[in-house]
Structure 1
Amino acid sequence: MKSSRRSLQVYLCTFATSVFLIAIGLVLSLIWPVLLKFILDNLMVLTTKSYAFDLWKKFPEPFPIDFYFFNWTNPESVTNATVKPKFQEMGPYRFFETKEKANIIWNSNGTVTFRHRKFWYFDENKGINDIQDRITTVNPVALSSVYATRSWNYFLRKGLSVSLSSMAPNVYLTRTVSQMLFEGYEDPLINMARSLPFLGNSVPGWDRFGWFYTRNGSTTYEGIFNMGTGINSTFGRLYSWNHWTQTPYYEGNCAKVNGSAGEFFLPPDHDSISFFSPDLCRTLTLKYAGPSTVKNILGNKYVIDEHMLDNGTLYPENKCFCNGECVPSGLVNVSSCRFGSPSFASLPHFYSADPYYLDSVEGLKPDKRKHQFFLTLEPTTGIPLEVGARLQINMLMQPIAGITLYENVPRVFVPMLWFEQRVQIPDSEVFKLKMLLNLSIICTSLGILLMFIGLIVSSCLVYKICTTNICGKKENKYLYPEQNIPLKGERSVEIVKRI
């Protein structure tokens, strides 16, 4: 009887297990959309305990940034109207960039305020070129000073011309790559500009000039960001920059601070995405360009096109980006954002720009594969899969009456340098993302497997019950049980015959 009870308990437990497996399998097969939504909702929130926080606070590994300079090979012919300025690209000069957040403040309205801290260091071991290479280019400090005087009366400009000629006898200069980037170099015009308040903001309060001078390790250069955390706010959206919702650098809609803060994007549509660039003091809009696969993950690719680069020539709504100097499509006027210097941003080698720019110089060769600015996002989560950030800095050189050094120069947009940041999603995150994206297949497959196992167990249980006497009665193997006479051999046959 005890044995029968144990057998019955085993059968009941087995039956319960099979029902449980079938139920769990059925639930997994049907519940995966709810589970996916729950995971995505948690991913789209930034707190100190959320999955995205550590990645947002400090990027897990440094990423490369390559700088290219344009060496002016015929500067002595600058006043010869029959000779175009000729440039030779030099580089890449590879640095590594680390990026982290500083001065983080969590606000009660569901936003977070922070600053960026970045460090750049030259890759001594794998540097492709020597940062002590010497580059000849237009004198950016002199050009900025002269540009600031274009609205002065003739006699004031003539007075400045005398001082300028003694301190900057040529419109060009030669410096090392290191000096042009982070090290900086001394220039007497900087000291003069700091002592002459009527030059306004044409030259910042630096003691040296370098395109990235004072930026290494700075927490103030890129400004103050206020971003939505997803709690009573839009996740990743930039609500203000330097406490502005409209910058003072542009007019109308062009001055609005909007789009992503540049790191998180809501699941995008198939039209466009936007993010704010502190270097250009404006929002950049990228248009959908089609699907793209990164590390076997399908994403949507977005690129900077002619609409973003236009100043009203092709799209009238962009005229507010002119800043008083409307130029042909392809260059973005950032002079008001760059201390009043004649600075214009473009894609490298004037890619996707009006032919006017290429026709005025020699040596540039735009290439879509090398010079396109793009961003690839995973469409379900909005996670960036790959970034190809490429921008070129140009300066406008033009004749200025009354400034002897610049009276006979051509009007030309001089390419100074361009940089490229090419970053892909870290391998450590690829597996997690693939698991998330394949959640439906994983849940469905696991559910079917569990249901199949449950059905197999149930079938075996039914078969066992049908072929086994679970009440404890055994078949009588003896003809005369009281005599213990088994039915074996000849004796069994004989007994049968007697019967």
Structure 2
Amino acid sequence: MGTKTAPAPPPRPLPLCAKIVVAFLFFGLIFSIVGSIVIPMVFTTIISNIVEEIMVITPNSELYEGWKDPSSNMPVYQGYYFFDVQNKEGILQGEKPQVLEVGPYTYMMNVTRQNITFRDNDTVSYLQYMTYSFVPEMSVGSEEDMITTLNIPFMSAANGAKYKTFWEQISVAALGHIHNYQAFNEISVKDLLWGYKDPMLLHMQGLAGKDLVTTDTFGILHGQNGTNPNWFTVHTGVDNSSLLSTISEWNGTKTLSWWGDKQANMVNGTDGSMFHTGIQKEDLLQLFSPLNFRSMPYEYQYDTSYEGIPLYHFYVPRFAYANPSEYPPNAGFCLEDAEKCVPTGLFNISICSQGAPMLLSHPHFLYGDESLIDAIDGIEPNETIHQNSIDIEPVMGVPFIVNQRIQINMYIEEIGGIGQTYGLKPTYFPILWIDTNGVLPDSMVDKYKEGMKLSQSIGNGARYGCIALGITCLLIAIVVIIYYRDRKHKIRDKQNQTIKAIENEYIALPMMDKEGSEINQNGSTKIDPVPV
């Protein structure tokens, strides 16, 4: 038979102090993790959900009244800067153009949304009216100030005759002589912007008919002050917060018809008054403006802040106006052979302006080809004052600082048969640039800061409260461990001292044999001497 193995003794239960230590360590770690990781994540999700509930376009939403009247949320101004020609006679003799920037001439924009109609597909339609009022105290002069610039109606007619017969070209030149028109003219700020009756247009309308010459009035913003509203349909953000304020239709169409491919003709993004919530740095924001005749991309550039509020700085990058050879997705914006596409830095809108050779760019040809800058004296691009940008609060998608900047240019050259153009060199000539700017008012900023402060206080209170509780538990566990370790050492030391004392006492006692006689150290019995 084999030997039986004795059963293992049962495990000793943890003493109470060890259970206490384990409990405090466990809860200390849990509270610390919850405060450091879980609460920030959960709180961020809660805030995002609250923001998504607030940021919707409905009659009962908190932002509805401000959305109906955007100017009440952010006063918006447009500053106009004109390139005053300094050597118009010299240019006609082949000299390099010299221009002097004059401005700003500032107008307050008042934007209202009317005829608002909510639809069943999470969209709302409205007419957007824009009115302008001159602000003398924010301007360098009056609307009656005179500017020397290109005679845009005459040069447009001359360009239109470029590929016509010689006799048609002579007719344009003759009309110019009749009305004493030259390549350049002096015109007031008011007339150039808002329009004037042009004798040559009236004459041409009488000859060609109103079907070909649709108006006898010219102005860069003619018909834009309180008339010709744009019809927008945008997403409300109720069913999908990522589509908040995104344009679904513009003037009854979902796409444009001017450009060469589907991508170029897409109506993307918002009108710039608001964006979707939860903006990320990787997002490429889109803004559609009828003035641009396309959607413009805005790319993240850097972090910034306003009144202590963190913002993201988005801007229109170089590729927006890049030649297709540099940025192939822009091929749809070039309706000519690739070799004839305009240089990087320009956007040809002649198809949108009845054939007139008009082009858009950044102010002072910022980010443009060096040839554009070198062609004209007085062009000095500066990213700080010429960049098209928006500073956005990323959680709510609200623009805090807006600087939408754009320049209007015209292509000029000598045209055979039209003597007024003789001597002109092929040039992309700047007319003016516009700075549409706004800053969120202090009342709105303070309101936002109060909400941000409250949410941060609640979040930080919960977060740091849990962390503090966790640290407290860990400290208690550490104190208990140290206490019991020291107590154990003291007990062990006392036990060691007791054992040593017993050992010393045992060594001091004499050794006895069986008879009770003391034994010597050599092992012999010690015999006491007999007394005599």
Q: Call closer, same or farther: CA 1:36–1:74 in 2, change over 3 Å.
A: same
Matched, 1:67 2:76: no
**Corresponding letter in the other structure for 2:108:** F
Query: How far apart in 2 are the matches of 1:159 and 1:65?
Result: 39
Matched, 1:40 2:51: yes
> Aligned residue for 1:189?
200
Q: Call closer, same or farther: CA 1:34–1:304 in 2, change over 3 Å.
A: closer
> Aligned residue for 1:311?
323
From 114, 122, 131, the equivalent of 1:102 is 114
Query: How far apart in 1 are the matches of 2:107 and 2:126?
Result: 25
- Any unmatched runs of 5+ in structure 2? 1-34, 467-532
Query: How far apart in 1 are the matches of 2:296 and 2:257?
Result: 17
> Aligned residue for 1:497?
none
Matched, 1:235 2:244: yes
Q: Give 3-state SS (helix, strand or coil) of 1:129's partner.
A: coil
Tell whether the 8 Å contact from 1:240 to 1:257 is kept in structure 2 after alignment.
Answer: yes
Matched, 1:403 2:415: no
Query: How far apart in 2 are the matches of 1:394 and 1:236?
Result: 31
TM-score (norm 2): 0.73
Tell whether the 8 Å contact from 1:228 to 1:236 is kept in structure 2 after alignment.
Answer: yes
> Aligned residue for 2:302?
290
> Aligned residue for 2:258?
249
Q: Give 3-state SS (helix, strand or coil) of 1:254's partner.
A: coil
Give the drift of 1:149: 2.5
> Aligned residue for 1:225?
232
Q: Give 3-state SS (helix, strand or coil) of 1:51's partner.
A: coil
Q: Call closer, same or farther: CA 1:292–1:165 in 2, change over 3 Å.
A: same
Give the drift of 1:170: 1.0
Deviations 1:288-317 (A, max 9, x none): 111111221111111112100113131122
> Aligned residue for 1:77?
90
Matched, 1:56 2:71: no
Root mean square deviation of aligned Cα:
2.7
> Aligned residue for 2:176?
164
From 193, 216, 219, the equivalent of 2:225 is 216
Matched, 1:423 2:435: no
**Corresponding letter in the other structure for 2:237:** G
Query: How far apart in 2 are the matches of 1:87 and 1:304?
Result: 25
> Aligned residue for 2:143?
131
**Corresponding letter in the other structure for 2:130:** K
TM-score (norm 1): 0.78
Tell whether the 8 Å contact from 1:291 to 1:298 is kept in structure 2 after alignment.
Answer: yes
Query: How far apart in 1 are the matches of 2:463 and 2:101?
Result: 60
Give the drift of 1:103: 2.2
Number of residue-to-residue matches in the alignment: 421
**Corresponding letter in the other structure for 2:307:** K
Query: How far apart in 2 are the matches of 1:262 and 1:334?
Result: 21
Once the two structures are overlaid, the 10-residue window that deviates more, 283-292 or 330-339, is 330-339
**Corresponding letter in the other structure for 2:234:** M
Query: How far apart in 1 are the matches of 2:464 and 2:307?
Result: 29
Give the drift of 1:160: 2.9
Matched, 1:339 2:374: no
Q: Give 3-state SS (helix, strand or coil) of 2:201's partner.
A: helix
Q: Give 3-state SS (helix, strand or coil) of 1:352's partner.
A: coil
**Corresponding letter in the other structure for 1:121:** S
Q: Give 3-state SS (helix, strand or coil) of 2:100's partner.
A: strand
> Aligned residue for 1:265?
275
Tell whether the 8 Å contact from 1:313 to 1:328 is kept in structure 2 after alignment.
Answer: no
Q: Call closer, same or farther: CA 1:285–1:160 in 2, change over 3 Å.
A: same
Tell whether the 8 Å contact from 2:77 to 2:109 is kept in structure 1 after alignment.
Answer: yes
Q: Which has the larger radius of gyration?
A: 2
Deviations 1:365-423 (A, max 9, x none): 11111111111111222111211111111111112223232243211111111121221
Tell whether the 8 Å contact from 1:36 to 1:439 is kept in structure 2 after alignment.
Answer: no
**Corresponding letter in the other structure for 2:165:** N
Tell whether the 8 Å contact from 2:366 to 2:387 is kept in structure 1 after alignment.
Answer: yes
Tell whether the 8 Å contact from 2:105 to 2:138 is kept in structure 1 after alignment.
Answer: no
Give the drift of 1:363: 1.4
> Aligned residue for 1:8?
none
> Aligned residue for 2:469?
none
> Aligned residue for 2:105?
93
**Corresponding letter in the other structure for 2:159:** Y
Give the drift of 1:199: 9.4
Q: Call closer, same or farther: CA 1:269–1:199 in 2, change over 3 Å.
A: farther
Query: How far apart in 2 are the matches of 1:366 and 1:94?
Result: 21
Q: Call closer, same or farther: CA 1:270–1:186 in 2, change over 3 Å.
A: same
Q: Give 3-state SS (helix, strand or coil) of 1:217's partner.
A: coil
Once the two structures are overlaid, the 10-residue window that deviates more, 312-321 or 134-143, is 312-321
Deviations 1:61-82 (A, max 9, x none): 633221111111111122222x
**Corresponding letter in the other structure for 2:47:** L
Q: Call closer, same or farther: CA 1:450–1:413 in 2, change over 3 Å.
A: closer
Q: Give 3-state SS (helix, strand or coil) of 1:417's partner.
A: strand
